[in-house]
Amino acid sequence: MNARSQHKVVLASWLACFFLLGFGVWSFQAGHLMIVVFLFLTIALYTMYAFTARCPQCRFPVLLRPLRAGGIEIFVWSLLAPNECRKCGRPL
């Protein structure tokens, strides 16, 4: 199982947890707060992972994606990992 497949599994399980938690606790008194806390905690965990996930060969961040806009190259974070490194081109 490559990195992209692992990311798809993690995203699908996160989405399932989000919906199960949402449907399960929405009617509670603080159910809305539980969903917001879950969302912020998972965003914080994803952000930490996005900064630490790197290519084993060139150490370039895997989730960093270059984007050319108006002659300027800017970097944005992608949700899924690519099949190969965007800098060195080697498979992950």
Provide the greatest CA pair distance for the chain: 51
Q: Is 73 helix (H, G, I), strand (E, B) or coil?
A: strand
**What are the pLDDT digits (tens) for 3-33?**
778 778 888 888 888 888 777 777 777 777 8
Is pLDDT above 80 for 71? yes
- Eight-class DSSP state of 88: T
Give mean pLDDT, residues 49-60. 84
Q: How many Å apart are CA 42 and CA 22, to the nearest integer?
A: 14
> What is the pLDDT averaged over residues 64-77?
85
pLDDT band at 43; cut points 50, 70, 90: confident
pLDDT for the residue 91: 82
| pTM score | 0.64
CA angle 74–75–78, rounded 5-degree value: 140
